[in-house]
A = this chain, B = another copy of it.
Amino acid sequence: MLSFILVRPQLGENIGAAARIMKNFGFRNLRLVAPRDGWPNPAADAMAAGGKDVLKNATLYPSLEAASADLSLLFATTARRRDMVKPVRTPQQLGAQLRSDYPNTALPPTGILFGPERTGLENQEVALADAIVTLKVNPDYPSLNLAQTVAILAYELSDYTLEARATSTERPPPPLAPKEQISALCKHLEQALDQANFWSVAEKKTPMLNNLVNMFTRAGWSQQEVRTMRGIIRALTEQQPGSDPADTAE
């Protein structure tokens, strides 16, 4: 069970946007420590869109100690360097560590801490965490928006809520055309170019044909796509109005 804990968040808009992205990545447990503008907050509702149920189920705590009392693991997101002996992880490293430490068992109750917009977490709050999570950012402008930070952590940790994350292709690609069909396409084109007197300089024909073979080999076309190309060559060569190339060029 993984909870996102917003510590003294200031803007309702950020709380709402955080709830939305949590829902997008399948997280449901939002904890709020002393939100500045009270709770509930209409500005949060407006930004939550389809994540309103995450907001509705959010739990309110007076202090970080109270919000983390039942948790076994705590990670503190922070952009600033802290004068503290504490492991530091990128979001990716945190995900990898959790997968490696808990490969076949449920994650123990775990919280990810996010500090207030202007100031970030206090040092004494960071001290409560098992490790610091930080992002490599532009030194000229390291100040990340709160909800954007939540987005990146939710994205990186979504393994814990969503199944296998990689989708390889949306539709299995059709098999590549066999080489003999690429050869036939090149032969077909060569004949068409012969008829069109394309080879103005005879010695150039062979190297140019090699280039064409290379182009069509690298193109990665399917059988149907090769048939389409041949239909095109036939249409351009024959130029007969009324001929029906539909059977070769669907």
Residues of B within 8 A of A162 (CB): 136-138
Residues of B within 8 A of A193 (CB): 232, 235-236
Q: Pick the most buried of A20, A145, A208, A243: most chain B CB atoms within 10 A of its CB.
A: A145
| CB of A247, distance to nearest CB on chain B (Å) | 9
| Chain A 189-202 near chain B by CB (<8 Å), digits 1 or 0 | 10011011110110
Residues of B within 8 A of A85 (CB): 171, 173-174, 222
- Contact across chains for B50 and A235 when beta carbons are under 8 A apart: no
Residues of B within 8 A of A20 (CB): 145, 148
Residues of B within 8 A of A208 (CB): 228, 249-250
Measured CA separation A198–B245 after assembly (Å):
7
Tell me if A169 is interfacial: C-beta within 8 Å of chain B. Answer: yes
| CB of A27, distance to nearest CB on chain B (Å) | 9
Tell me if A69 is interfacial: C-beta within 8 Å of chain B. Answer: no
Tell me if A71 is interfacial: C-beta within 8 Å of chain B. Answer: no
- Contact across chains for A136 and B158 when beta carbons are under 8 A apart: yes
| CB of A184, distance to nearest CB on chain B (Å) | 17
